[in-house]
Structure 1
Amino acid sequence: MKSCLALVFCVAAVFSGSARQEAGLDKTGETFEGGIGSLMPAYQKRRALLTGEALPPHDVDFAVLKSQPLPPQQNPRPEGLSRTQKKRHALLGELHGHSELALLHGLLIAHLRKHTYPDGAPALFLRLWKEEEDWLLETLPTRWLISAVITFAEHGQSEADRTLAARMGMFFSLMKIYEAERCFSGLPPQKAFKVKDRNTSPLPMGMKDFSVLQGDLEAHLLAPLWRDAGQAPAIGNLVRHLLERLNTDDGTVFRRLALMRNAAEKSRKGKV
């Protein structure tokens, strides 16, 4: 738990903008009126049981499912579908061009992210990743690999897997929040801010400022995840695969910081 909290504040320090703007909220000064506990109903609502058709048996033949391409999504969506059928319909659109095995993986995650799920769902999910890891890493979109690692936080068999998965889930959730907010800057994710435009207002919650040009916070944030993946038997390869994709993605805050450093270094050399 301590490592998860440390991750929250590390990511917050990297992702926080320098300026603190008045939000015009209620007199309590709370972002969430009623406190963080008031968010529980919204959290619980999305975790209601998916009712409907049963999952395949535990010994389902994965090779057969890999060979079966998904049918086209029927639109508009038919009436009278169960919650599971509605989820399958949505996945048919999202996973167009993939196979029934990719869809089964998506359905398993959808079930396992709920408070209640079919009895055999955890074991089938774990078997799928144990037997088909290479295929899953090569085939699935990154979005589904992220969902998979988050699912291990509750259903991993080892403490090392569950703890690392929880940290990865926190990391990607905060990253998603930050990148979504940044969209309102009007800049594409590949466009770095200019160093000269930095606002010098203090960071929130009294956090110490982060040196964009010389700081090592990224190393303290990412290197332990890479290190601990070596001790996570079920998700180690998945975690390192995701971190490698993070490193090659040109639209992350880490790439933008690297661009800012390069620009500052070129400017410095030009003045020498």
Structure 2
Amino acid sequence: MTDDDLTYPGGLPALLDRYEGRRDPFNFGPESLPPLDCDLTALTSAIVPQSKSEKHSDDARTSWAWKRRDIAREFIGNSELAYLNGLLISNLRKRDFPEHAPALFRRIWKEEADHLIGALNLRWLVSSVQTFADHGDTPTQREVGHALRMLFGMMKLYEFERTFSGKAPDDAFGFGRRVKARLPLDMESFSLKSGGLDINLIAPTWEQAQGDPVIGPLACHLLEELNREQGGVFRRLRIMRERRERQMARK
């Protein structure tokens, strides 16, 4: 097989080159992250000012100075703790980071989960739970983080591609135009009547998350939000099941 036949020419080595190319650590210069024992309660009540997003004459010319200003733009008017969570995530995606960053990330979620769940939008909540995949302190934290990183990542790819169909996320497909074609990797077709793949993807991870006091509140909140979401593949499958059931009842 030639590279022309591959979705990703060059295979794994090429993928790793691109992956690693985005993981260069920040140059902090004279700056640093807050210490591990910083006062989290104070950070929950402190508000991020506009000035944190602006460049000042005494700012160091480092990649970190640029990044922290960029992140600050999203958190103006929000709490300093929510902002700190964003700063930690941006570091923990890199190959290297301040030594205490993983422990500080876990500490803020252990001690201030309620505040963060209320302060962060869903995009940052998803980024937070995905960060546990690599930096969780327990097998459960890492396993739940990995599972939700894959689940939400594949949802993002699929839902983005589906927008080109001309249908909104809450607009389920009808039955009349289905193409009976080979599924990738010769997978068996999904059964609307009896298929349980969607439940198999969600239920074990949800149950596992409930047993961990650090990732549990965050993961369960996101899965509850997924359950309430009016659009997306899982809600559309429910709609299609109900339509199919009504069709069969009329026969």
Normalising by structure 1, report the TM-score: 0.83
CA contact (8 A) 1:192 1:256 kept: yes
2:17 paired with 1:37: no
CA contact (8 A) 1:153 1:163 kept: yes
Match of 1:155 in 2: 135
C-alpha deviation, 1:264, in angstroms:
2.5
Structure 1 letter corresponding to 2:44: K
Match of 1:17 in 2: none
Match of 1:6 in 2: none
Higher relative contact order (CA 8 A, sep 6+): 1
The number of residues matched between the two structures is 247
Select 1:230's aligned residue among 210, 218, 237: 210
CA distance in 2, matches of 1:28, 1:62: 53
Match of 1:50 in 2: 26
CA contact (8 A) 2:36 2:103 kept: yes
- Counterpart mapping for 1:136-215 below 5 A: 136-215=116-195
CA distance in 2, matches of 1:111, 1:41: 19
CA distance in 2, matches of 1:212, 1:76: 53
CA contact (8 A) 1:156 1:234 kept: no
2:124 paired with 1:131: no
Let me know the Cα RMSD of the aligned residues: 2.3
C-alpha deviation, 1:187, in angstroms:
1.5
Select 1:69's aligned residue among 47, 57, 62: 47
| Structure 2 CA distance for partners of 1:148 and 1:206, relative to 1, 3 Å | same
2:33 paired with 1:60: no
Match of 1:263 in 2: 243
2:213 paired with 1:241: no
C-alpha deviation, 1:240, in angstroms:
1.3
C-alpha deviation, 1:77, in angstroms:
6.5
C-alpha deviation, 1:73, in angstroms:
6.7
Select 1:89's aligned residue among 69, 80, 91: 69
C-alpha deviation, 1:243, in angstroms:
0.6
SS in 2 for 1:195: coil
Normalising by structure 2, report the TM-score: 0.90
CA contact (8 A) 2:135 2:142 kept: yes
Percent same amino acid at aligned positions?
Answer: 42
2:80 paired with 1:100: yes
Cα deviation 1:58-110 (Å, max 9, x = unaligned): 22112222222222278886797422222222222223431111111100111
Structure 1: 5+ residue runs without aligned partners? 1-25
| Structure 2 CA distance for partners of 1:66 and 1:74, relative to 1, 3 Å | closer
Match of 1:118 in 2: 98
